[in-house]
Amino acid sequence: MSIPKLPLYLDNASTTKVDKRVLEEMLPYFTDLFGNASSNHSYGKIAKDAIEKARSQVADLINANTKEIIFTSGATEAINLGIKGFTEANSHKGNHIITVKTEHKAVLATCEYLESKGFEVTYLDVDNNGLISLEQLRNSVTESTILFVIMYVNNEIGIIQPIKEIGEIAQEYGISFFCDATQAVGKVKVDIEKDNIDMLCLSGHKLNGPKGIGALYKRQGVEIIPLIHGGGQEKGLRGGTYNTPLIVGLGKASEVAKIEFDSNVTNLIKKRHELETYYESNNIGYVNFKEANRAPHIISVTLIGFEAEQYLMMKSKEFVASTGSACNSEIVELSHVLKALKMKNTKNILRLSF
C-alpha cells in the first residue's frame, strides 16, 4: 500500500503510532509462534511465556506485582471491569461512588449505568485549573462510600490531579481507589505503592503500542467480578483466548516507556516550550493552565480571533490536532471537561498533543 503524504500529527492524546521495536516484537506471534497460550504443548508454552514476560513489563512500569495485572481489550474495558466488577463484588459494604465531572467518558458512562442499577454517585467539581478540592472529596465521603474513581492526567487539558493525597484519603477512610492512568503512564512517574492506588487502567495505543489492548492493575485482595465469563483465563476475571501478539506489544511498549522515560519527558518538555512560544509570541493564542501541574505532552491553547475548528481546517495541510475531546468529535457539543471548567471562548480552544 502506498502511504499518502500526511500533515504533522499533533493529536497523540487520541492515539499514537506503534513504535517499530514494538511491532517487531509482536510479529512472530502472528505467524510462527501462533499457539494458544492455554494449550499444554510447546506452541502453547511459548505463547504463555511471552504473555508472562509482557505482564511483568507492564507491572514494572507502575511498580506493581506481576500477579496484579489483568489484560483487557483497552482502557475502556479495564474501566468497566474495575468499576462494575468492584461495585458488584462489594455492594454489601456500600453503594456510594465518588468521581469527578472531568473524567473520561468511559468512566462517566460506567458510573451513570451504575446509578441506573441503584448505586449513588457523587460527581466532584473542579476549579479553574481542572483540579478537585481535597476538602470537597473528604466532605463527600459517607458511611456507604466504597470507591473513588479519579483520573491521573486529564486527556483534554493535561492537568495532573493530586493523586498521592487522594490515595492517602482513600486509605484513611478504608475506601478503594481506582485511577485512570491512561494518559499518565510514560509521561509522569506512576507508582501504585507511593500513590496508594488499588486499581488502575492503561492502554496500549496511548503508549506507542497497538490498539485493542490494555490492562487493569488490581491490588491483591481487592475483590472484583468478571464482565466476560469464559475459559478461566486471567484467573477467571477475563475469559477469551489470549491475544498474544497484542499483549506482547503492550509489554514491549511498557518496557520502552520505562527505559526511555527521562529522555522522552525531556523531549516533550522541549517540544511543549517550542509550541507554546510559537502561539504566544506570534499572538495566535494563549496557553491555558500554565501555572498548574501538567503532563508534558498535552497543551490547551485558546486561539485569539479564531474558532478552533475553523483554524484546524485552515491548517489541515500543515498539521492535525483536536478541539475539545476527540472521543466526542462526532457529536457537535461542548466538551464536558470544558463545561465543568466553566472556561470562556470554548469554541476557540485547541488541544495539541505530541
Ligand X SMILES: *Cc1c(COP(=O)(O)O)cnc(C)c1O
The residues binding ligand X (CB under 6 A) are 74-76, 104, 106, 151, 155, 180, 182-183, 203, 206, 214
Q: How far is the CB of 75 from ligand X (least distance, A)?
A: 3
What is the Cα Rg of the chain in Å? 21
Contact criterion met (CB below 8 Å) for 10 and 237: no
> For residues 157 and 349, which CB has a smaller minimum distance to ligand X in the complex?
157
> For residues 95 and 243, which CB has a smaller minimum distance to ligand X in the complex?
243
Q: Which of 20, 124, 86, 57 is nearest to 341 (CA)?
A: 124
Q: How far is the CB of 182 from ligand X (least distance, A)?
A: 4
Residue number of the CB atom closest to ligand X = 74
Q: How far is the CB of 47 from ligand X (least distance, A)?
A: 23
Q: How far is the CB of 185 from ligand X (least distance, A)?
A: 11
> For residues 145 and 182, which CB has a smaller minimum distance to ligand X in the complex?
182
Angle of the 75-89 helix axis to the 105-116 helix axis, nearest 10: 30
Q: How far is the CB of 85 from ligand X (least distance, A)?
A: 16
Backbone angles phi, psi at 294, to 5 degrees: -125, 150
Q: Which of 75, 27, 22 is nearest to 206 (CA)?
A: 75
> For residues 105 and 339, which CB has a smaller minimum distance to ligand X in the complex?
105
Q: Which of 134, 109, 45 is nearest to 336 (CA)?
A: 109
The full DSSP string for 94-148 is: --EEEEETTS-HHHHHHHHHHHHTT-EEEEE---TTSPPPHHHHHHH--TTEEEE
Q: How far is the CB of 293 from ligand X (least distance, A)?
A: 16
> For residues 277 and 329, which CB has a smaller minimum distance to ligand X in the complex?
329
> For residues 157 and 308, which CB has a smaller minimum distance to ligand X in the complex?
157
What 20-27 contacts at long range (C-beta under 8 Å, 24+ apart), as own/partner pairs, is 21/252, 21/256, 22/208, 22/209, 22/210, 22/249, 22/252, 22/253, 22/256, 23/249, 25/248, 25/249, 25/251, 25/252, 26/210, 26/245, 26/246, 26/248, 26/249, 26/252, 27/245
Q: Region of 305 please: left (phi>0), alpha (psi -120 to 50) or beta.
A: left
> For residues 155 and 302, which CB has a smaller minimum distance to ligand X in the complex?
155
Residue 201: active-site member: no
d(CA 76, CA 227): 12
Choosing from 111, 179, 201, 327, which is the catalytic residue?
Answer: 327
Q: How far is the CB of 49 from ligand X (least distance, A)?
A: 25
Strands 176-180 and 319-320, sheet pairing: unpaired
Instruction: Give the largest Cα separation in the chain, rounded.
Output: 65
Catalogue the active-site residues: 327
